[in-house]
Amino acid sequence: MEPFKSHTGIGVPLRRSNVDTDQIIPAVYLKRVSRTGFEDGLFAAWRADESFILNQEPFKAGSVLVAGPDFGTGSSREHAVWALMNYGFRVVISSRFADIFRGNSGKQGLVAAQCEQSDVEQLWKILENDPGTEVTVDLEEKTVRAKDFQTTFAIDDYTRWRLLEGLDDIALTLRHAEDIDRFERERPSWKPVTTPVAAE
Amino acid sequence: MTTTRPRTLAEKVWEAHTVRRGEGAEPDLLYIDLHLVHEVTSPQAFDGLRLAGRPVRRPDLTIATEDHNVPTVDIELPIADPVSRTQVDTLRKNCKEFGVRLHPMGDAEQGIVHVIGPQLGLTQPGMTVVCGDSHTSTHGAFGAMAFGIGTSEVEHVLATQTLPLRPFKTMAINVDGQLRPGVTAKDIILAVIAKIGTGGGQGYVLEYRGSAIESLSMEARMTICNMSIEAGARAGMIAPDETTFAYLKGRPHAPQGADWDAAVEHWKSLRTDEGAEFDAEVHLDADALTPFVTWGTNPGQGLPLAESVPDPEKIADENERFAAEKALSYMDLTPGTPLREVKIDTVFLGSCTNGRIEDLRAAASVLQGHKVADGVRMLVVPGSMRVRQAAEAEGLDKVFLGAGAEWRQAGCSMCLGMNPDQLAPGERSASTSNRNFEGRQGKGGRTHLVSPLVAAATAVRGTLSSPEDLN
């Protein structure tokens, strides 16, 4: 994962709440076995509508998505994060994220920046009044800036540290391999294993 | 563990699986007892292992099946869609290469991942269970801590059998009283979601408690825990009791002999202690519940079937009003229309929410002696091949076929429309599944979430109905 310090890019106002993962990428686009190429499925149903925001200049080239509350609800599909990133998004701003989506974002280097809904409304106004306005998201400072508006966002410290350093979770966990070994030695013997049993 | 502080069920299971407590902002490292794998969210994870030269740490705690995109007809033929076929073939190759047990299409143990875990007795009280699927919360019905994960986490569990996580907050969902005839677990959970909203459970593990929950069967408990994620909670749990033990006893992977006694002894301790505090509590009166259906495009947009399509004008919150307007426009519904008058084209009975034997029995009991209405198609998709087999042994397939419904092979099917089982644009369904999102069951499709009883009655009348409407 590449380290993320700060990012500046065109902000896209998405005035919708409950943007679920079936909207971000419908199931029929989940059949690939790679991590790339999912941008074609991003908001597929909405993009079929000419008036959808990502079909308009200059939002097409956006990289900071500013959405309503409860972004990323529904399925655990990490494809939703891949689709956003494959398209070019680096940051999503919302007042509330679904837990799994937020976790998936942190693993892939997409910043899920949680702002107050009033700040989201402010950003929407700025981005709608002057399309193409750039938004700067600074992960070190935990700030969002657009024109003369500035606010802070919330992100948990551990995810922030990992993103700033660009660290791989698995490598971090394997530093504690001895703890895992010890835990496994102490597990109760009656815990089930998946290897086929004789009775089957 | 030396603590004497009263603890919740969730805290007990969490603490028993903490390999290492995180320091400062660092998360805990949680051991995973069971990892369920399917074709859609695993290929990139196995690729990651290959790239890093890592093995699967515990193939003996891992099991795979094919469910999300497999067809439910002509399963003896190669999958027609080449992209789906590649995904299924990739799972087969990965399982072979990494030594993971797989139940492929056509196998006697194949089925929806959340149906086969409990069925095999692999899901047991007090375990930690994960899967690259948000409905992993289903397994919480056994008093397990079970939750969905993304593909990066799938890779993490494959490589380390652990996950770095911060503990969830706890929320008690107290459901007391007695359900009236015709009211089911599905109605309880739809009412809970309508009450707390799709984000209400965010950051929490829900514990369903109270007399109404205690009197439910395991199948019904699974239906409730299954949809915890629709309230925003990654996990939902129910304390194990005699119903749980009776369900597990004798299943292929359940402990046996002295191990069984030791296990039950431990399982009995898996209850929230007297005096333990939850971070939040919600109450629901089971006596007052009636059949529930959704009218909108998120699972929180639900109402009792006896009511009418709501009027967005009357919703105070601006965001919610806007969402309701958008939902009604997508659903092509007019405010004030009685829900019972909403015409349905397709009825889907199945999914990890309501695709178990008890669900099929319930629907069959309503369909018996009736016909599916003209112009309505009904798909019955068992949650697993074992469920299909059990239903056929009881003659339920004859009831469905006799009524004019389609009797299919096991899989996720029209719940998410990844295989050919989809709604056409504009088509409207009554579905026993878990999500009514725009286009979820097929591009342009419109979904009403219902219980198996409501699904069957709706199939007969052609409009949203409950069994009492058939009298």
The pLDDT tens digits for A138-191 are 999 999 999 999 999 999 999 999 999 999 899 999 999 999 999 999 999 899
Other CB atoms within 10 Å distance of the CB of residue A2 = 6
Of A18, A79, A191, the CB nearest to B198: A18
B160: contact with A, CB 8 A cutoff: yes
Per CB-CB distance under 8 Å, the chain B contacts of A103 are: 149-150, 153
Of B271, B261, B226, B259, the residue nearest B125 (C-alpha):
B271
Q: Which amino acid is at B54?
A: R
> Which residue bears the tokens 């600074």?
A138
Check whether A200 has a pLDDT greater than 50: no
Phi and psi of B303, rounded to 5°? -150, 160
Nearest CA in chain B to A182: B19
Strands B292-294 and B302-304: antiparallel
Per CB-CB distance under 8 Å, the chain A contacts of B92 are: none
Which uninterrupted H or E stretch holds A162?
helix A157-165
Per CB-CB distance under 8 Å, the chain A contacts of B206 are: none
Q: 3-class SS at B15? A: helix
Percent of residues in chain B assigned helix, strand, coil, to nearest 5:
40, 20, 45
Measured between CA atoms, how close is B161 to chain A, in angstroms?
8
| Cα(B10)–Cα(B26) distance, integer angstroms | 20
pLDDT at A199: 42
Nearest CA in chain A to B299: A74
Q: Which of residues 150-189 of A touch B (CB under 8 A)?
A: 156-158, 161, 169-170, 172-174, 176-177, 179-180, 183-184, 187-189
Measured between CA atoms, how close is A39 to chain B, in angstroms?
16
Nearest CA in chain B to A189: B259
DSSP class per residue in B317-358: SHHHHHHHHHHHHHHT--TT-BGGG-B-SEEEE-HHHH-SHH
Q: Give CA torsion, residues B286, A98, A159, B137, to 10 deg.
A: 50
> What is the ipTM metric for this complex?
0.93
pLDDT at B3: 56
Mutate to test the interface with A, among B17, B198, B260, B353 (most CBs of A within 10 A): B198
HSE-up (13 A, CA, CB side) for residue B31: 24
Residue-wise pLDDT tens for chain B (471 aa)?
A: 555 799 999 999 999 999 999 998 899 999 999 999 999 999 999 999 999 999 999 999 999 999 999 999 999 999 999 999 999 999 999 999 999 999 999 999 999 999 999 999 999 999 999 999 999 999 999 999 999 999 999 999 999 999 999 999 999 999 999 999 999 999 999 999 999 999 999 999 999 999 999 999 999 999 999 999 999 999 999 999 999 999 999 999 999 999 999 999 999 999 999 999 999 999 999 999 999 999 999 999 999 999 999 999 999 988 889 999 999 999 999 999 999 999 999 999 999 999 999 999 999 999 999 999 999 999 999 999 999 999 999 999 999 999 999 999 999 999 999 999 999 999 999 999 999 999 999 999 999 999 999 999 999 999 999 999 998
| Cα(A11)–Cα(A113) distance, integer angstroms | 13
Q: Which of residues 126-145 of A touch B (CB under 8 A)?
A: none
Cβ within 8 Å, pair A180-B443: no
| Cα(B294)–Cα(B302) distance, integer angstroms | 4
Sheet holding B34-37, edge to edge: B101-103, B62-65, B34-37, B128-131, B145-148
B215: contact with A, CB 8 A cutoff: no
Residues, chain A: 200
Q: Which residues are bridge partners to B346 per DSSP? A: B377, B429
**Residue B385 contacts residue B111 (beta carbons within 8 Å):** yes
Which uninterrupted H or E stretch holds B407?
strand B406-407
- pTM beyond 0.90: yes
B56: contact with A, CB 8 A cutoff: no
**Residue A75 contacts residue B418 (beta carbons within 8 Å):** no
How far the first Cα of chain A sits from its last, in Å, is 44
Q: Which of residues 40-59 of A touch B (CB under 8 A)?
A: 45
Nearest CA in chain B to A15: B319
User: Could you tell me how far CA B454 lies from the centroid of its own chain?
Assistant: 18
DSSP class per residue in B438-468: TTTTSTT-EEEE--HHHHHHHHHHSBS--GG
Of A74, A78, A192, the CB nearest to B122: A192
Percent of residues in chain A assigned helix, strand, coil, to nearest 5:
40, 20, 40
| Cα(B445)–Cα(B423) distance, integer angstroms | 5
pLDDT at B2: 54
| Cα(A140)–Cα(B267) distance, integer angstroms | 46
Average pLDDT over residues A39-48: 96
User: Could you tell me how far CA B465 lies from the centroid of its own chain?
Assistant: 23
Q: Which of residues 349-368 of B touch A (CB under 8 A)?
A: none
pLDDT at A197: 62
Per CB-CB distance under 8 Å, the chain A contacts of B86 are: 31, 33
**Residue A57 contacts residue A12 (beta carbons within 8 Å):** no
Q: 3-class SS at B175? A: strand
**Residue B466 contacts residue B291 (beta carbons within 8 Å):** yes
Check whether A127 has a pLDDT greater than 60: yes
pLDDT at B320: 86
| Cα(B89)–Cα(B38) distance, integer angstroms | 12
